[in-house]
Structure 1
């Protein structure tokens, strides 16, 4: 297991390094001159030259990348071009908000998606199966922005039981924080739950039709034990894989959801940074998101290896 984790960690570090190169040069390829953004329109050539020299923009790109990588490794992402605050400080303020939203949305998706997938597999061909399958189709088809607007109209405008927008830090008022995060989490988690339901149902159907499940039934084991201990446990490898692969969709969905519900998280920060050409913030947000995605997939690989020892053995043979 140690060699398996070491190999996966090494591969993750290589991918992170490649991602940093793509992010750095990708941001540099965006239209517009960062010096003009910093100095403002109408700046003199002398002022532009001074700013380029001050921020190292007049040096070759490989040299700039090495300096950038050194700063990132020390936790320094530069300063925002809008308010001159350290980007690392902005990230530390915004990241917990998006993580809270993502965790709540994932909780919603797991409870609804896995539960509906198990019921659909057990009740295959019955009314419960058709209802769960229909829910999955609707969840995959409805855009986040439209579902968010409908949720606001129904729960906030018509019923007036939940706030339409805004954010309250958990440290200030935990109850109000959760009250304001319910709608965004439901909106963001619905599409994720649909994907999870379909994959759980498919995996469960495969396990329920396997020989070892038929053997367990023939031994007189209860249906709950067969489903919960045998079929579900062996289906978790698929569920864990989907959880990791859908993280990117969850983060991209958070961009739209945070805009709808005016949540000052990573998504809203990204859009605001793009609109104002705040290059240091764009660079930091994209890099942190990519690294977070890599870390989650590394955890998925390790968890997959724990759930399925054959993966570790295969990795060891190929290593």
Structure 2
């Protein structure tokens, strides 16, 4: 198991290095000159040159990249070109907001998706099975932005039961925070639950028809015990799918935060792109990539614990 984890960790490090290069070059490929934007209307060449020098934009790209990575490893992600605040401070204010949204959406998606998938597989061909499949098709087909706007129209404009937008800190007003997070969480959790539900159902149906379950049934093992063994084996695939869906959750959060005016990472990135705020864009995207890689590393480790064959294969190499 130790070598299995080390190999996965090594792969994660390589992924982070490549991702840092992609983020650095991708940000600088954006159209427009941030120095010209910061210089205001009718900027003089001297003012533009001073801004480039101040933010290191006049250096060659390799030098800028090495300086950026070196400072990032020390926890220094630069200074925002908009308000001169440190990027670390800006991200520290926005990160809890996005984490709360993502964790609540993940909780809704996993609980609803796994439970619906298990019941749908056990009661295959029933009315609940058809309803669960219809829900899965709905969740996979409906875009986040349309579902979010529909929720605002129904629950805020017509019924007046939930706020249309805005955010309140959890520590400041727990009730108000949860009230404003209901719609964004359901918007993100619906698509995630649909994917997990369909994967759980498919995987569990395959396990319930496997030879070991038929053998257990012939020996008189109860239905609950059969389901427990089959569900444990099917969770290996479901766990991998949950990790892969994190990318969709992050991209969906960008749109959802814009729709509901939530001051998280998604809105921060969009505002940073609009103002050509290189340090903020780089920092936010890099932290997002690090989180995505770490979650997938944890999923790989969990997959190794759930499937002993991976540990054996890793130890033999």
Q: TM-score range by the shorter chain?
A: over 0.9
The match for 2:244 is 245
Instruction: Describe the superposition over 1:231-276 as per-residue Cα deviations: whole angstroms up to 9, x where unpaired.
Output: 1111111111011100010011111111111111111111111122
2: CA distance, partners of 1:307 / 1:56: 48
2: CA distance, partners of 1:154 / 1:219: 54
2: CA distance, partners of 1:57 / 1:160: 49
- Give the deviation of 1:74 after TM superposition: 1.0
Instruction: Describe the superposition over 1:162-186 as per-residue Cα deviations: whole angstroms up to 9, x where unpaired.
Output: 2222111011111221121111101
- Give the deviation of 1:63 after TM superposition: 1.1
The match for 1:76 is 76
The TM-score, its normalising length taken from structure 2, stands at 0.96
- Give the deviation of 1:92 after TM superposition: 0.6
The match for 2:267 is 268
The match for 2:201 is 201
1: CA distance, partners of 2:165 / 2:51: 40
1: CA distance, partners of 2:40 / 2:81: 11
2: CA distance, partners of 1:256 / 1:62: 33
- Give the deviation of 1:48 after TM superposition: 2.1
The match for 2:142 is 142
Correspondence 1:60-99 to 2 at 5 A: 60-99=60-99
2: CA distance, partners of 1:37 / 1:20: 25
- Give the deviation of 1:305 after TM superposition: 0.4
Moved more, 6-15 or 214-223: 214-223
2: CA distance, partners of 1:273 / 1:53: 20
SS in 2 for 1:164: coil
The match for 1:46 is 46
Moved more, 48-57 or 102-111: 48-57
The match for 2:19 is 19
Relative to structure 1, is the Cα distance of residues 153 and 314 closer, same or farther in structure 2, using a 3 angstrom cutoff?
same
The match for 2:277 is 278
Instruction: Describe the superposition over 1:34-59 as per-residue Cα deviations: whole angstroms up to 9, x where unpaired.
Output: 22123223222222222222222222
Instruction: Describe the superposition over 1:129-151 as per-residue Cα deviations: whole angstroms up to 9, x where unpaired.
Output: 11111110011111111111221
2: CA distance, partners of 1:36 / 1:277: 10
Which runs of at least 4 in structure 1 moved beyond 3 Å after TM superposition?
Answer: none
| Unmatched 5+ stretches in structure 1 | none
The TM-score, its normalising length taken from structure 1, stands at 0.96
Moved more, 40-49 or 183-192: 40-49
| Unmatched 5+ stretches in structure 2 | none
The match for 1:117 is 117
1: CA distance, partners of 2:29 / 2:126: 55
SS in 1 for 2:215: helix
- Give the deviation of 1:66 after TM superposition: 0.7
Relative to structure 1, is the Cα distance of residues 112 and 43 closer, same or farther in structure 2, using a 3 angstrom cutoff?
same
Instruction: Describe the superposition over 1:165-216 as per-residue Cα deviations: whole angstroms up to 9, x where unpaired.
Output: 2111011111221121111101110011111111000100010001111122
- Give the deviation of 1:157 after TM superposition: 2.7
The match for 2:286 is 287
2: CA distance, partners of 1:140 / 1:16: 30
2: CA distance, partners of 1:48 / 1:223: 73
RMSD between aligned residues: 1.3
- Give the deviation of 1:80 after TM superposition: 1.3
